Structure 1
Amino acid sequence: MFNWNDLVFFLELARQNRLALAARRLRVDHTTVSRRIAELEKDLSVKLFDRKTDGFVLTEQGHRLFAVAERIEQEVMNLPTLLGTGDEAANGRVRVATMEGIGAWFLAERLVELREQQPGLVLELVTERHLINLTKREADIFISFVPPAGQRLIVKKVGSFRLALFASEAYISKHGMPESREALLAHTFVDYVEDLVAIQPVRWLLDVLDPASVAFRSSSMHAQQNAIASGVGIGLLPLFSAKKNRMLVPILFDDVQVFRDVYLSVHEDLEFLARIRIVTKHIVSFFKRDAGDLQII
């Protein structure tokens, strides 16, 4: 007969992908986790996981059960609120995926604010160069510069940010301050590694020019910013990161204005879970509250 308690083991293994990690979180032996999963698969007559070298991966049936099990879990967690015996609170893990720059320079410190308000949350911030697949549960929430395509996704624009050209004082002292867009053609730039760009809107320098001379390329926006600050060349940077480095000097600030929209995406199976709802509400609110940090130097 199906044992409801086996869902606890199923959810943890689905989230951790490895027996040892799931066992540690559940405070049991890894053989117990393995046994309970085997019993659950037998009781339901389905294969829930593919056992691969890099861990346990949900099958199609496993993904279906995961969505149902999470709803059951959240309903249980919401019982105090539903019965009027507690305040609204979020518990559990929420994985937010985004690009490196906005994750490191903008999102991280603001997600910490939420963690202080909701101590039951475990927040994971994952940075990737490619578009995250929410349908495959690669993350719970995705913050991106383009609206992702996929079935049953809830996508909303939450804000936008501005980018501008920057260089270091050392670079300007050596090569001069360009006074026009045409003058930029004679300068050296910092840019992305072309063949590693998974999302074309990240190649934002092309909105200004296709540079003839590039001295440094990196797939990391953080590395690009450090290279620009060291004096190797001019680069196009988001204001939310550039304003944090006093060594960076804006170039043609009023003439060169590049903008990117920011989208928040969540799978509709997760949209109404308390922890997802609270995190998405917080993200939307601080994009509105801190719009100036994204737009103003």
Structure 2
Amino acid sequence: MFDWNDLVFFLELARQGRLAPVARRLKVDHTTVSRRIAELEKDLAVKLFDRNRDGFVLTERGHRLFDIAERIEQEASAVEPAMGADNATAAGRVRVVTMEGIGAFFLAERFAELAVQSPGITVELVTERHIISLTKREADIFISFVHPTGAKLEVKKLGSFRLALYASRGYLDQRGEPRDRDELAAHTFVDYVEDLIAIQPVHWLLDVVDPTNVAFRSSSMHAQQQAIAAGAGIGLLPLFSAKTNPRLIPVLPDQVKVYRDVFHSVHEDLQFLARVRTVSRHLSSIFELDNAYLNEF
């Protein structure tokens, strides 16, 4: 019979992929982690991990055990709340994956509020340019601009945000301010690197104009915003990011209105974990409370 406590080490190694971060999280020596995994494999008579230069990767049977172990973890986390324990608090790591712009300019600051409210939870905010797989456990929560598809996903719309055209005062003084959308064709733009766009709705400038004169391209929305503020050209930016830089001047704000929906996704096997549920509630709350900030000048 295997030791139930070994599942804790197994889950952490499956999520982290390396011994050192697991050892730090569980406050043990890395040799202890290695030994507990070896004992679990011996007791179950199966190989749970393959090891390569990138770390530990689950085998097919490891994936089977991961699904079972997560269900056990989920049930265990529900014991204290079900018993009405007053001291039951959510704790642990929650990995949230989203796009760079909304992660850096909007979510990061608001996760600081969660750190005060729920000090036992550690949020890991990861930014990606592509759609990730919750089914493959690449994250606990995915915040995206498209409605994800996949088996056993719980998806809900959190809200929306507005984008607008911006330029610097220097650029507008030099090139003149367009009076309508037709005059945009004569201007210079800042845009994404086309062949590096993994999620098409992020190429939002095409909702307004297909520019023929692009002075600067970047796969980073932050870099684009900096270039626009420095006078490189006109660009389309979310209000939540543009508001952080006073050098940015709205262009045709009454004529150009672009919106994107924001979706929250979580695998159904994780949605009732106390730590995941706490972070999900916080995300819903901030999108509701900050709706005006996201959509109005």
Do the structures match in fold with TM over 0.5? Answer: yes
Matches for 1:92-111 after TM superposition, within 5 Å: 92-111=92-111
Corresponding residue of 2:143: 143
Moved more, 73-82 or 94-103: 73-82
* 1:131-177 deviations in Å (ceiling 9; x for gaps): 01111111100000001121111111111111000000000000000
Amino acid at match of 1:161: F
How much does 1:182 deviate?
0.9
Distance 1:27 1:102 in 2: 33
How many residues are aligned here?
Answer: 297
Distance 2:184 2:84 in 1: 64
Distance 1:4 1:174 in 2: 70
Contact 2:135-2:151 within 8 A present in 1 as well: yes
Contact 2:162-2:294 within 8 A present in 1 as well: yes
Corresponding residue of 2:159: 159
Contact 2:70-2:269 within 8 A present in 1 as well: no
SS at match of 1:149: coil
Corresponding residue of 1:127: 127
Corresponding residue of 1:90: 90
Corresponding residue of 2:2: 2
State whether structure 2 residue 186 is matched by structure 1 residue 198.
no
How much does 1:205 deviate?
0.4
Matches for 1:29-68 after TM superposition, within 5 Å: 29-68=29-68
Matches for 1:193-272 after TM superposition, within 5 Å: 193-272=193-272
Contact 1:67-1:270 within 8 A present in 2 as well: no
Unaligned runs of 5+ in 1: none
How much does 1:100 deviate?
0.3
Moved more, 65-74 or 282-291: 65-74
What is the root-mean-square deviation in Å for CA atoms of aligned residues? 1.4
Distance 1:201 1:244 in 2: 23
Q: Among all aligned residue pairs of Structure 1 and Structure 2, give the percentage whose two residues are the same amino acid.
A: 69
Contact 2:168-2:228 within 8 A present in 1 as well: yes
How much does 1:73 deviate?
3.0
Corresponding residue of 2:187: 187
How much does 1:78 deviate?
4.3
Judged with a 3 Å threshold, the aligned counterparts in structure 2 of structure 1 residues 78 and 272 are, in CA distance, closer, same or farther, namely: closer
Amino acid at match of 1:151: A
Contact 1:77-1:91 within 8 A present in 2 as well: no
How much does 1:11 deviate?
1.6
**TM-score scaled by length of structure 2:** 0.96
